[in-house]
């Protein structure tokens, strides 16, 4: 097991030393600043209106969800961009040769790298989520219902993106892996929104298409479940915001995502164990 932790440690250090993480954090900080200004302007605007505190709270909670969704998107993109080179690139450059000839099984290399990236991504999500929630609370007083459930689901969503990136990395070049990973993320994004739209349109075909997309890549459904866990209970039923959940992924959908993750990571390990380096 020492090998796994050594690989996780060196991967984490590598990820932290890469410019992309700090660029993403700067981007996150800028978005947070915009978010803070928007929240402040909203508060000022509401002060001039006669509005029920209850409705006002729901609107402000909806705005907080926009901020959290932005953090979620940033985290997924960061996951793919930081990890895309770690398997494919090291195989291509031959860097992996000096590691794969050490007394640790290949699955330990892959799992170690996976854990290293996951810790980095979890840290990123924790920081950006905490900052967004703090800004929202400081300006408006709103708080998410279940922030830790939301956090766990977002990290899980990133873990799926990471597993897919690793899977593609064991088969294809860095560039091809990146295109495939981002493409699948696009499918997930579309699937999530189709399911949302279906809530308004009641179209069976759109529902089917959305569910099929979510089955191909269930990442976005995890965000929607996270949003459901974090938003106020009334927000979803009001349906006045695209960030209020109309179609809520069930526990079964989360279970499917867990099975999907296990299969993807399992195939990645299986192929990495067998392939020539």
Taking CB under 8 A as the rule, does residue 172 contact other proteins?
Answer: no
Give the span between the Cα atoms of 19 and 155, in whole angstroms: 21
105 binds other proteins (CB under 8 A): yes
Longest Cα separation, the chain: 71
Minimum Å gap between C-beta 15 and other proteins is 11
Please give the distance of CA 265 from its chain centroid, rounded to a whole number: 16
Sign of the C-alpha dihedral, residues 264, 266, 267, 272? positive
Q: Is 6 a binder of other proteins (CB under 8 A)?
A: yes
> CB-wise, 153 or 269, nearer to other proteins?
269
Q: Among 38, 43, 66, 104, indicate the residue that binds other proteins (CB under 8 A).
A: 104
The backbone region for 173, taken as left when phi is positive above 0, alpha when psi lies in -120 to 50, beta otherwise, is: beta
Q: What one-character DSSP code corresponds to residue 128?
A: H
130 touches other proteins (CB under 8 A): no
Q: Look at the alpha carbons of 123, 73, 214, 181 in this order and tell me if their dihedral is positive or negative.
A: negative
Piece in contact with other proteins (CB under 8 A), picked from 34-42, 220-228, 255-263, 269-277:
269-277
Choose among 259, 193, 199, 202: nearest CA to 221. 193
Site for other proteins in 29-68 (CB under 8 A): none
Q: Which is nearer to other proteins, 61 or 109 (CB)?
A: 109
Exactly one of 29, 45, 51, 93 binds other proteins (CB under 8 A); that residue is 93
Contact between 23 and other proteins by CB under 8 A: the answer reads no
Tell me the three state secondary structure of residue 167. helix
Closest CA to 122 of 1, 15, 215: 15
Applying CB under 8 A, which of residues 22, 41, 51, 102 lies at the interface with other proteins? 102
Cα distances (Å, whole numbers) of residue 186 to 220, 233, 250, 255: 9, 29, 22, 21
Find the binder of other proteins among 14, 137, 267, 271 (CB under 8 A): 14
- Tell me whether residue 103 or residue 251 sits nearer to other proteins (CB atom): 103
Please identify, among the stretches 98-106, 138-146, 181-189, 194-202, the one whose residues bind other proteins according to the rule CB under 8 A: 98-106
95 lies in the site for other proteins, by CB under 8 A: yes
User: Per rule CB under 8 A, is residue 277 in the interface with other proteins?
Assistant: yes
Nearer to other proteins, 102 or 205 (CB): 102
- With contacts defined by CB under 8 A, how many residues of the chain interact with other proteins? 21
Binding segment (CB under 8 A) for other proteins, from list 102-110, 167-175, 188-196, 247-255:
102-110
Q: Give the sign of the dihedral formed by CA 26, CA 143, CA 196, CA 66.
A: negative
Q: Measure Cα distances from 209 to 89, 117, 136, 205, 240 in Å.
A: 35, 32, 35, 6, 23
Interface residues toward other proteins, by CB under 8 A: 2-3, 6, 10, 14, 17, 93-95, 97-105, 274, 276-277
């Amino acid at each position: 097991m020492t090998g796994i932790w050594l690989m996780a440690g060196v991967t984490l250090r590598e990820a932290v030393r890469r410019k992309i993480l700090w660029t993403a954090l700067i981007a996150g900080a800028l978005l947070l600043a915009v978010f803070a200004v928007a929240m402040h302007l909203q508060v000022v605007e509401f002060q001039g209106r006669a509005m029920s505190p209850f409705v006002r709270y729901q609107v402000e909670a909806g705005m907080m969800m926009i901020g959290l969704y932005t953090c979620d998107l940033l985290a997924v993109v960061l996951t793919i961009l930081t990890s895309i080179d770690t398997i494919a690139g090291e195989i291509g450059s031959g860097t992996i040769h000096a590691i794969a000839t050490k007394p640790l099984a290949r699955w330990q290399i892959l799992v170690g790298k996976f854990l290293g990236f996951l810790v980095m991504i979890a840290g990123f999500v924790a920081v950006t989520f905490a900052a967004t929630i703090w800004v929202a609370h400081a300006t408006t007083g709103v708080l998410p219902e279940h922030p830790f459930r939301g956090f766990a689901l977002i990290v899980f969503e990133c873990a799926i993106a990471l597993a897919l990136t690793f899977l593609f990395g064991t088969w294809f070049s860095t560039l091809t892996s990146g295109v495939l990973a981002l493409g699948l993320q696009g499918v997930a994004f579309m699937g999530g929104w189709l399911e949302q739209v279906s809530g308004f349109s009641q179209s069976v075909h759109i529902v089917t298409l959305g569910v099929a997309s979510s089955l191909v890549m269930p990442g976005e459904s995890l965000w929607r479940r996270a949003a459901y866990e974090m938003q106020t209970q009334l927000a979803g039923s009001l349906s006045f915001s695209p960030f209020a959940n109309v179609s809520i992924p069930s526990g079964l959908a989360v279970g499917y995502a867990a099975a999907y993750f296990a299969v993807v990571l399992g195939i990645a390990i299986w192929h990495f164990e067998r392939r020539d380096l």
